[in-house]
Amino acid sequence: MYSLKKPRPSPAFAATLCGAAAAAVLLAGCGKKAEKTEDIRPVRAIVLQSSEIGVDAEFSGEVRARVESRLGFRVPGKIVKRSVDVGSVVKKGQQLMQLDPQDLKLSQAQALASLRAAETSRDFAKAELKRYQDLKAQNFVAQTILDSKDSAYKAAQANVDAAQAAYRSQSNQAGYSALVADIDGVVTAVDAEAGQVVAAGTPVVRVAKDGDKEVVIGIPEDKVDALKSISDVRVRLWANPQHTVPGKIREISPAADPATRTYTVKVTIPESLAEARLGMTAVVEFASRTAQPQIKVPLTALHYEKATTSVWVVENGAVKLVPVTPGGVAGNDIVLASGVKPGQTIVTAGVNVLKPGQKVKILGEELAKPAAAQAPAGAAK
């Protein structure tokens, strides 16, 4: 019969098991606790400033040349040569494109032949008139015959004049086979290529004149009248928003654009904005003075919770929630009527993930500090 009793473990196995358990306890006791890292969130922030200039509205637009010519041939024909590309700087009188001149030269030769024939007929009529004048002096012919010869001569002279005009016109037509720039500027567009047949007057090249530039914007119909009376107009480039220059309204379209239903406004910018290039994006601000200084913040700086509007104020590397009262809109910014004061630093990005007392790191400070540290050293030199 088989025994139902479990066999006892050997003393050696029991000793090995106890040793393994003791080693595990020792290893657990020797392990270091994980260090707790402080949660520091990177944020973007600005320092509040007050200003008596309020932005009533701002619109983005495109930098264009004040004068842009759409050049085309004055005669029809086939383009055989293109001498410029988009972006090419051209001078007045420089050739841009060339038509096939063969047909125009043949027409010029035909006009010249017609002129020579008319001159021959005139010379013959003149000689006839002289001969009949001599015969009349001897009373060999009647006065009516002499009058007819005189009329024939005058008609022949008129034919010569007409042939000369036709020849000059055809000579000009032959010269129009070369398209030349009529101003100094830069090529902004090429609308035709070699081998293409174009009609007279069809624009083939666009040339922007050197000199004054302007920003073209579109204004909604409900703000046209209000913005007409504002004289403080400022322009800044999207590529360099820190540099703002004064602008001047040059033209307001009397009719709305059929596609956008906005009124086109052209704002002249001064030569001091030298970095402005054709096609760049620019922002036009319409500003006016306010009765008292205003504090403006971006819309992204506001935090909404339980019908309360607040901002995160940074103090000693931590944030606290401060309730504020919005006082209106100034362009793309919000005017704060109360709650904060100039000189305070507020968070403008990441406001929904913060909590009171949380440590933050302002993005950009690590770049500003080295620059500030180098300034005294440079001044001491």
90 and 191 belong to one structural domain: yes
335 or 32, greater pLDDT: 335
Domain end (from 249, 275, 290): 290
DSSP state at residue 340: -
For residue 308, give the H/E element and its range.
Answer: strand 308-315
Residues 194 and 313 in one domain: no
308 part of a folded domain: yes
14 falls within a domain: no
Are 76 and 199 within one domain?
yes
Q: Are 194 and 59 in contact (CB under 8 A)?
A: no
Residues 121 and 159: beta-carbon distance below 8 Å: yes
Query: Where residue 367 falls among pLDDT bands split at 50, 70, 90?
Result: very low
Residue 335 lies in a domain: yes
For residue 65, the SS3 value is strand
Instruction: Tell me the C-alpha distance between 58 and 284, whole Å.
Output: 5
Determine the structural domain holding residue 272 and report its residue range: 55-66+210-290
334 and 236 in a common domain: no
Residues 273 and 339 in one domain: no
**219 and 155, same structural domain?**
no
DSSP labels for 108-163?
A: HHHHHHHHHHHHHHHHHHHHHHHHHHHHHHTT-S-HHHHHHHHHHHHHHHHHHHHH
Angle in degrees, 0-180, between the axes of helices 143-175 and 102-137, rounded to the nearest 10: 160
* CATH code of the domain in which 252 resides: 2.40.30.170
Angle CA 299–301–306, to nearest 5? 95
> What pLDDT does residue 355 have?
86
Question: What's the confidence (pLDDT) of residue 57?
Answer: 77
CA distance 154 to 150: 6
Residue 217 lies in a domain: yes
Is the same domain home to 270 and 360? no
Whole-angstrom distance, CA of residue 336 vs CA of residue 326? 4
279-285 mean pLDDT: 89
Neighbours of 246 (CB within 10 A): 15
CB of 200 within 8 A of CB of 244?
no
**For the chain, how many structural domains are there in total?**
4
Q: Report the distance separating Cα 231 and Cα 272, nearest Å.
A: 19
Given a contact cutoff of 8 angstroms between Cβ atoms, the answer to whether 312 and 319 are in contact is: yes
pLDDT for 197 equals 94
Residue 378 has pLDDT above 60, yes or no: no
Question: Residue 115 belongs to a domain with what CATH number?
Answer: 1.10.287.470
Residues 185 and 225 in one domain: no
Name the band, by pLDDT with cuts 50, 70 and 90, for residue 377.
very low
Is there a domain that residue 379 lies in? no
At residue 290, the pLDDT reads 63
Residue 3 reports pLDDT greater than 50? no
Q: Which of 207, 203, 194 is nearest to 99 (CA)?
A: 194
- Could you say which of 232, 257, 290 is where a domain stops? 290
As a whole number, mean pLDDT of residues 154-167 equals 95
Burial of 285 (0-12, 13-18, 19+ CB in 10 A): buried
Statement: residue 205 has pLDDT above 70: yes
- Are residue 140 and residue 243 in the same domain, yes or no? no
Q: Which residue has the higher pLDDT, 74 or 57?
A: 74
* Residues with Cβ within 8 Å of residue 371, at least 6 apart in sequence: none
Flag whether 36 is in a domain.
no
Percent over 90 (pLDDT), the chain: 37
* Best mean pLDDT range from 8-22, 88-102, 273-287, 318-332: 88-102
Residue 131 lies in a domain: yes
For residue 320, the domain's CATH number is: 2.40.420.20
Contact partners, residue 222, CB within 8 Å, separation at least 6? none
Average pLDDT over residues 21-47: 64
Domain boundary among 237, 269, 290: 290
| 166 and 216 belong to one structural domain | no
Q: Do residues 203 and 220 both lie within one domain?
A: no
- Residue 191 sits in a domain whose CATH number is 2.40.50.100
Higher local confidence (pLDDT), 345 or 229:
345
216 forms beta bridges with: 62, 266
* 259 and 313 housed in the same domain: no
CA 111, 112, 116, 117 torsion: positive or negative?
negative
Residue 109, in any domain of the structure = yes
